[in-house]
Amino acid sequence: MITITRADTRPIQNQGDIVLVRKVVRDWALELQFSIVDQTKIITAASELARNAFEYGKGGTMKMEALLNGIRKGLRLTFEDQGPGIENMELALTDGYTTGGGLGMGLTGARRLVNEFDIKSTPGQGTTVTITKWK
Amino acid sequence: MERIPILKMGDFLLVTIQVDMHDRLVMTLQDDLMEKISTCNSAGVLIDISALEIVDSFIGRMIANIAAMSRVLDAKTVVTGMQPAVAITLVELGLSLDGVMTALNVERGVKLLEKITRSESQYLDGTSAQELVDDNDHKS
Ligand SMILES: Nc1ncnc2c1ncn2[C@@H]1O[C@H](COP(=O)(O)OP(=O)(O)OP(=O)(O)O)[C@@H](O)[C@H]1O
Ligand SMILES: [Mg+2]
């Protein structure tokens, strides 16, 4: 059974908030005693998803949940926006696909950096991406 | 406006990134560097990222852009001090940073730049910079 030991929500409304997202994710990952590599991976994934929520989703929020599954600790992050949503999910989840002049590595890269990755999007309503990293 | 300082060291430019930069600051740094390379006629650029805890696709793209644009301006770019965890994460993220040279620290980075910029003007025998670097690594 998974229990949530701590939860919080942060805004993603400007570029400074993306920096703050990286900082708070680092703090929580440290507290959960993630290895330095796992810390780096979850912060990097969070940075990508926060930027997407800001750039494409016109801003949103990050929900943070510290998890406990037996003795296993984890960190679950949910990025939510009410932007235009993603029309073609298969394309968006292809390495190198971008509509914004990026590298098109944010979503696919974030997926590779975590243990669980879930994305839901409704065109015209918004996008929700949930990632979980287990210790 | 907030800016990352760019130091001029002889023929080279040195940038030490010490803060977690927001995206606009990253773009400003990229523009400032390009301008400085051409006004100072620099032969090389050294970007020290030892204080950076993460390199995401945005900063990765800036580094690749700087390397590509400096090539056009006939300058070489070396990235120094990348943390091992950052390097591991970059690979998994899917960024290859092709064509970007790396060195363990600033001192080695300067040596590398000196070697490859000198080699271009002196050894016109077709020995590539990479071979010279490999050679250097074996000796040290
Ligand atoms: N929250 C979102 N809302 C709407 N569209 C999105 C969102 N996130 C991603 N997308 C779409 O998916 C594409 C791929 O996203 P991804 O993060 O992989 O690449 P990118 O942001 O274009 O470039 P990079 O992240 O490498 O700088 C985007 O170009 C955009 O079209
Ligand atoms: Mg992105």
Domains of chain B: 6-139 (3.30.750.24)
ipTM for the assembly: 0.94
One-letter identity of residue A34: F
Using alpha carbons, list the distances in angstroms from residue A8 to A21, A25, A121, A130, A134. Answer: 12, 11, 22, 14, 18
- How many A from CA of A10 to the centre of ligand 2? 19
Evaluate if residue B121 carries a pLDDT over 80: no
- Summarised one tens digit per residue, pLDDT across range A38-92 is 999 999 999 999 999 999 999 999 999 999 999 999 999 999 999 999 999 999 9
Closest alpha carbon to A25 in A12, A4, A39: A39
Q: Which residues of B touch A106 (CB under 8 A)?
A: 56-57
Evaluate if residue B139 carries a pLDDT over 50: no
CATH number of A2-134: 3.30.565.10
Predicted local confidence at residue A2, as pLDDT: 95
Predicted local confidence at residue B108, as pLDDT: 97
Nearest residue of A to residue B26, measured between CA atoms: A15
Evaluate if residue B131 carries a pLDDT over 90: no
Domain boundaries, chain A: 2-134
CB contact under 8 A, B89 and A37: yes
Q: How far B57 CA lies from chain A's nearest CA (Å)?
A: 7
- Summarised one tens digit per residue, pLDDT across range B66-107 is 999 999 999 999 999 999 999 999 999 999 888 799 999 999
Asked whether the beta carbons of A78 and A62 are under 8 A apart, the reply is: yes
Predicted local confidence at residue B129, as pLDDT: 47
- How many A from CA of B98 to the centre of ligand 2? 20
Instruction: Name the burial class of residue B1, with classes exposed (0-12), middle (13-18) and buried (19+) by CB atoms within 10 angstroms of its CB.
Output: exposed
Question: Could you give the 3-state DSSP secondary structure of residue A87?
Answer: coil
Evaluate if residue B120 carries a pLDDT over 90: no
Query: Cβ neighbours of residue B124 under 8 Å, at least 6 residues apart?
Result: none
Query: Residue B122 — very low, low, confident or very high, per pLDDT cuts 50/70/90?
Result: low
Overall average pLDDT of the A8-34 stretch: 98
Q: What string of DSSP letters covers B62-119?
A: HHHHHHHHHHHTT-EEEEE---HHHHHHHHHHT---TT-EEESSHHHHHHHHHHHHHH
Nearest residue of A to residue B93, measured between CA atoms: A109
Classify strands A60-69 and A116-122 as parallel, antiparallel or unpaired: unpaired
More confident residue, A118 or B126: A118
